[in-house]
Structure 1
Amino acid sequence: MAGLLDTVNQRTQLVGQNRLELLLFKLNGRQRYGINVFKVREVLQCPQLTSLPKRNPYVRGVAHIRGQTISVIDLSAATGGREIPDIQNCFIIIAEYNRSVQGFLVHSVERIININWESIMPPPKGTGRFSYLTAVTEVDKELVEILDVEKILNEIMPMSTEVSQEIIDKPIAKDVSEKCIFIADDSSVARNQVKRALQGFNIPIKLAVNGKDALEQLAELAQETGDVCDKVALLISDIEMPEMDGYTLTAEIKNNPKLSRLRVILHTSLSGVFNHAMVDKVGADDFIAKFNPDELAGAVQKWLNVD
């Protein structure tokens, strides 16, 4: 297992090519799940866990790993299934989301696959707002489910979306009352977090569920005047999205004369120095790690005031 992720740091060339690598794993039963390799720090045989008083029922305990204390979340229980039994024979995936490190308890870890984002599809219609799926794909003629980890984490450790009043009170020099802010994110939780954080600006907000959806909506708006900036003040986009990722979306925008002047903020739970290089490569105007409402609101103010 130690060798499974040995080459993770060599895989950054996939970023920006609308491709990703998924680490496949199982919880209880035969169903396969996937997590983006770039979120994963390491995979370990489940160590001895320390129980905590009054812990969340989905947190099986904490592990002490490389000088750090990490909460270990039972992914099966957190998504409505039964607890994973016999944890000493199971694994934990150490991953970084939203500026924090978590351990996800899984039954088994299989392998890493290389796949195109176009092969990652939104969840089937009818799964409902209580579903924990953010996307699905097919591997070996079997369905692989990609969980909405941000939704899971928000239910266990809710994040504040309050913006400091001093930031809200700062004036916006430009008149953007006739324009809107676009938010593109495949996680409904993440979309709503951003939306709530920006409500104090009193600017209309439009939502897109992935990069392809955002690009189609923006192109349609641009058809009316020839320049999308006549109607849209700013785009805030996630990077990991089915059908079209945020890097590809940004590159498409910057290469389209009707869209190219649009300011793009990439807002993502991905971490690592390669993100900053990709911001320059695809022409994004800013990059912000999820989720700090003051930092996001401050960046929005900054770019709304730039011609």
Structure 2
Amino acid sequence: MSGILDSVNQRTQLVGQNRLELLTFRLMLKQRYGINVFKVKEVLQCPRLTLLPNLHRLVKGIAHIRGKTISVIDMSLATGGLPINDHENRFIIISEFNRSTQGFLVGSVERIVNMHWESILPPPEGMGSSSYLTAVTEIDGELVEILDVEKILNEISPVNEQMSDETLAQKPVITKKGAGPNKVLVADDSSVARRQVKRAVETLGYEVMLAYDGRDALNQLQAMALEGDIYQQVALVISDIEMPEMDGYTLTTEIKKDTNLKDLHVVLHSSLSGVFNESMVQRVGADAFIPKFDPDELAAAVIKSVKYQDN
């Protein structure tokens, strides 16, 4: 199992081609789940866990791994299932999300599957706001669920969503309606991320349009372009990278090659590794990349993009 990610660096060629690789795993029941390999740092058998006072009920304990202390979250319990027992015979997926590293305790880890984002579909309608799914797919005739890890982490340790006074002092002046673009399109498959970005952008005075994946975002933009000059309607596009059907890299590529959309500013906003994404920003033509989620950094990116377009 320790060698399951040895060739992860060779997989970067998949990015930008609307492809990904899923690491599949199971919790306590037969249902299969998946996580993007690029969010996984390591997979190992669960080490001895240390219990500390006042831990969140979803945190099974603290693990000391390679000189670092990492919280280990019971993924089954976090999604409303049975707690995972028999820890020493289970596995943890060490993952980096939203600037933090944590371990997810799972029942078993299976294999890595090469997928196309078009095969990753939004969850069924009617799941409700309490659902932990961001997407589903089918592997070997079996449904595989992709969990909203950002929602799980936000329930354990909510991020600060308030902008600083210094950032608010730089808030742009939004002129009256009709004088210029006053809408920002936000594309993200996570309900938590959409809410966070929406709140931040609205604080700056912009109207927010929401898209649930890259294809939804592209369809909305192309429909608006048919109705009139897109640059008088949309000030900026803020997109997640990991999304069903069409990822953020592919969305950016499609925007930049569309003659009616090519000059729109695109900011990629992701929980994936910042170092890796900086190179991909240039490759696909995005205008900026910021890691999730810091309201001041997000606001600064919006303000910078708007000022650039006004010059």
TM score, norm. by length of structure 2: 0.96
Q: 2:91 aligns to what?
A: 91
Q: Distance in 2 between matches of 1:273 and 1:54?
A: 34
Q: 1:100 aligns to what?
A: 100
Q: 1:119 aligns to what?
A: 119
1:129 pairs with 2:129: yes
1:79 pairs with 2:72: no
Q: 1:15 aligns to what?
A: 15
1:291 alignment partner AA: F
Q: Distance in 1 between matches of 2:274 and 2:171?
A: 33
Query: Of residues 191, 194, 212 in structure 1, which corresponds to 2:194?
Result: 191
Q: Distance in 2 between matches of 1:173 and 1:260?
A: 25
> Superposition RMSD on alpha carbons, in Å?
1.2
Q: Secondary structure at the match of 2:25?
A: strand
Q: 1:156 aligns to what?
A: 156
Q: Distance in 2 between matches of 1:198 and 1:152?
A: 23
User: Per the alignment, do residues 7 and 305 of structure 1 end up closer, same or farther by CA in structure 2, a change over 3 Å counting?
Assistant: same
1:192 alignment partner AA: R
1:218-249 residue CA offsets vs partner (Å, 9 max, x unmatched)? 11111111x31110000100000000000000
Structure 2, unaligned runs of 5 or more: none
Q: 1:274 aligns to what?
A: 276
Identity %: 63
Q: 2:292 aligns to what?
A: 290
How far 1:171 sits from its partner (Å)? 4.6
User: Per the alignment, do residues 26 and 176 of structure 1 end up closer, same or farther by CA in structure 2, a change over 3 Å counting?
Assistant: farther
Q: 2:25 aligns to what?
A: 25
Q: Distance in 2 between matches of 1:235 and 1:171?
A: 18
Query: Of residues 211, 221, 231 in structure 1, which corresponds to 2:224?
Result: 221
Q: Distance in 2 between matches of 1:180 and 1:197?
A: 13
1:180 pairs with 2:200: no
User: Per the alignment, do residues 171 and 49 of structure 1 end up closer, same or farther by CA in structure 2, a change over 3 Å counting?
Assistant: closer
Q: Distance in 2 between matches of 1:27 and 1:276?
A: 34
1:67-94 residue CA offsets vs partner (Å, 9 max, x unmatched)? 1100000000000001001011000000
Q: Distance in 1 between matches of 2:189 and 2:296?
A: 22
Q: Would you say how many aligned residue pairs link Structure 1 and Structure 2?
A: 306
Q: Secondary structure at the match of 1:277?
A: helix
User: Per the alignment, do residues 60 and 149 of structure 1 end up closer, same or farther by CA in structure 2, a change over 3 Å counting?
Assistant: same
1:205 pairs with 2:208: yes
Q: 1:244 aligns to what?
A: 246
1:49 pairs with 2:46: no
1:299 alignment partner AA: A
Structure 1, unaligned runs of 5 or more: none
TM score, norm. by length of structure 1: 0.97
